[in-house]
């Protein structure tokens, strides 16, 4: 007996989401479709900033598509059923129907140069990103985004079981911002120093504060243009927060030791953040840049600062799956210190994504 699955498809800018239903077979003894993968019942999906960019038109997407890549759920079915004996999570442990899981935002081929030699599966030549692809009108493979009852996880997706003590709201954003931050910080050749500055306190910036705060930086300064967001930083590990204004250079000079900051993390996408970071870093300092994910993010900077100060600037986008595993462990260990679930707003039923007073209202 096929099951009715609810899907919310984004059609185009300015038009509401289209809600529709698919009939899919979830019974292992029925004839399975000609696909291999794992079907997951979505328990909670979050609206990421990039989803909002797509809805508003600042970012283009192939349409129609099922948005939503930040999600958690439970395994509903192995496809075909016979693979259930072979299916494992990223760490190699067997998976079962009913397991509560999250997964990498993309599936990789595990064969191209980026997957193998370069160890960058997130830049796989045949990368498939959930919540960013065209979704056909029918077939299991069209269930490729989080804004639906079910999502179909392809081979090459890294799956992680979630600890029972981590609730859905604390876990739902781990496979996007949190894992990206963990991955970027892992790239740095930076021992714990005296002073780190985090510019931009959205999800990227707050997870950065949480990780650096747990590492024990003596001065961890969070900066945002919005006073309420700046305030949040001190609840996620920052020792101080500042509101970005034309006074920010004076404030930083008063706050940071005279030789400069050891580390700056740019998590806002504003060109002024990068140029300010180069001014604020000490000789040998490091900048991790995460926020320039929009086309033609032009930045004009003094390259002599880069050279004479012996700086290192690293960009990071998405993540190696191991970073998702690490950030799950990290959030589990630190959830008594940081109230991660507070980062997710009101929860709505799927159908209300299309409601003008629903999930996308703000």
Q: Is 308 in the site for its own copies (CB under 8 A)?
A: yes
- Per-residue binding letters, 177-196, with its own copies (x by CB under 8 A): ----------x-x-------
Residue choice 290, 331, 350, 353 for contact with its own copies (CB under 8 A): 290
Residue choice 28, 139, 284, 358 for contact with its own copies (CB under 8 A): 284
What would the two tokens of residue 32 be?
């399975």
Kindly report whether the peptide bond that precedes residue 64 is cis, defined as omega within 30 degrees of 0.
yes
Q: Is 295 in the site for its own copies (CB under 8 A)?
A: yes
Residue choice 63, 215, 240, 314 for contact with its own copies (CB under 8 A): 314
Residue choice 74, 129, 154, 309 for contact with its own copies (CB under 8 A): 309
What would the two tokens of residue 269 be?
């996408």
Count residues contacting its own copies (CB under 8 A)? 44
Alpha-carbon gap, residue 18 to 31, rounded angstroms: 29
Given the structure tokens 């012996």, which residue do they identify? 310
Contact partners, residue 283, CB within 8 Å, separation at least 6: 259, 260, 309, 310
SS3 341: helix
Question: In the complex with its own copies, which residue's Cβ is closer, 84 or 309?
Answer: 309
Given the structure tokens 């504060």, which residue do they identify? 209
- Residues in 104-133 that interact with its own copies by CB under 8 A: 113-114, 118, 120, 122-123, 125
Contact partners, residue 164, CB within 8 Å, separation at least 6: 100
Q: How far is the CB of 326 from its own copies (least distance, A)?
A: 17
Question: In the complex with its own copies, which residue's Cβ is closer, 123 or 214?
Answer: 123
Question: In the complex with its own copies, which residue's Cβ is closer, 118 or 347?
Answer: 118
Q: Is 216 in the site for its own copies (CB under 8 A)?
A: no
Closest CA to 340 of 207, 181, 177, 233: 207
Q: Is 311 in the site for its own copies (CB under 8 A)?
A: yes
Q: Is 86 in the site for its own copies (CB under 8 A)?
A: no
Q: Which helix (H) or strand (E) holds 214?
A: helix 203-215
Q: Is 316 in the site for its own copies (CB under 8 A)?
A: yes
Alpha-carbon gap, residue 295 to 43, rounded angstroms: 33
Q: Is 300 in the site for its own copies (CB under 8 A)?
A: yes
Question: In the complex with its own copies, which residue's Cβ is closer, 117 or 356?
Answer: 117
Question: In the complex with its own copies, which residue's Cβ is closer, 78 or 207?
Answer: 207
What would the two tokens of residue 319 be?
């993540």
Residue 198 β-bridge partners: 222, 265
Contact partners, residue 179, CB within 8 Å, separation at least 6: 104, 319, 323, 324, 327
Residue choice 297, 339, 347, 351 for contact with its own copies (CB under 8 A): 297
User: Are 306 and 313 in contact, with CB atoms under 8 Å apart?
Assistant: yes
Q: How far is the CB of 131 from its own copies (least distance, A)?
A: 17
Q: Is 49 in the site for its own copies (CB under 8 A)?
A: no
Question: In the complex with its own copies, which residue's Cβ is closer, 140 or 263?
Answer: 263
Alpha-carbon gap, residue 357 to 362, rounded angstroms: 9
Question: In the complex with its own copies, which residue's Cβ is closer, 170 or 289?
Answer: 289
Kindly report whether the peptide bond that precedes residue 80 is cis, defined as omega within 30 degrees of 0.
yes
Question: In the complex with its own copies, which residue's Cβ is closer, 83 or 306?
Answer: 306
Positions that interact with its own copies (CB under 8 A): 113-114, 118, 120, 122-123, 125, 187, 189, 259, 271, 274, 282-284, 289-317
């Amino acid at each position: 007996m096929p099951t009715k699955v609810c899907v919310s498809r984004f059609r185009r800018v300015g038009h509401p989401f289209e809600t529709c239903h698919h009939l899919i077979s979830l019974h292992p003894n029925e004839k399975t479709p000609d696909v291999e993968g794992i079907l997951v019942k979505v328990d909670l999906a979050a609206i990421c900033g990039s989803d909002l960019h797509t809805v508003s038109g600042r970012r283009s997407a192939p349409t129609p598509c099922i948005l939503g890549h930040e999600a958690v759920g439970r395994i509903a079915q192995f496809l075909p059923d016979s693979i259930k004996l072979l299916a494992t999570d990223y760490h190699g442990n067997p998976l079962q129907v009913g397991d509560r899981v999250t997964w990498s935002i993309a599936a990789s081929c595990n064969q191209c140069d980026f997957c193998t030699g370069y160890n960058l599966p997130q830049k796989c030549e045949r990368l498939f990103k959930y919540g960013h692809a065209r979704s056909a009108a029918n077939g299991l493979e069209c269930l490729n985004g989080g804004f639906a009852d079910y999502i179909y996880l392809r081979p090459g997706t890294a799956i992680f079981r979630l600890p029972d003590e981590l609730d859905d709201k604390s876990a739902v954003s781990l496979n996007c911002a949190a894992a990206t931050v963990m991955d970027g910080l892992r790239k740095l050749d930076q021992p714990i120093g005296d002073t780190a500055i985090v510019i931009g306190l959205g999800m990227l910036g707050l997870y950065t504060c949480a990780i650096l705060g747990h590492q024990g930086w003596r001065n961890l300064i969070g900066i945002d243009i919005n006073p309420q967001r700046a305030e949040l930083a001190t609840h996620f590990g920052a020792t101080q927060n500042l509101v970005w204004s034309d006074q920010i250079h004076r404030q930083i000079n008063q706050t940071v030791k005279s030789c400069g900051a050891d580390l700056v993390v740019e998590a806002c996408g504003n060109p002024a953040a990068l140029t300010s970071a180069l001014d604020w870093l000490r000789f040998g300092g490091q900048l991790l840049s995460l926020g320039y994910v929009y086309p033609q993010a032009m930045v004009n900077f003094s390259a002599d600062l880069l050279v004479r100060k012996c700086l290192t600037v690293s960009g990071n986008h998405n993540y190696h799956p191991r970073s998702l595993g690490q950030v799950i462990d990290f959030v589990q260990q630190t959830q008594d210190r940081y109230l991660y679930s507070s980062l997710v707003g009101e929860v709505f039923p799927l159908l209300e994504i299309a409601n003008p007073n629903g999930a996308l209202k703000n």
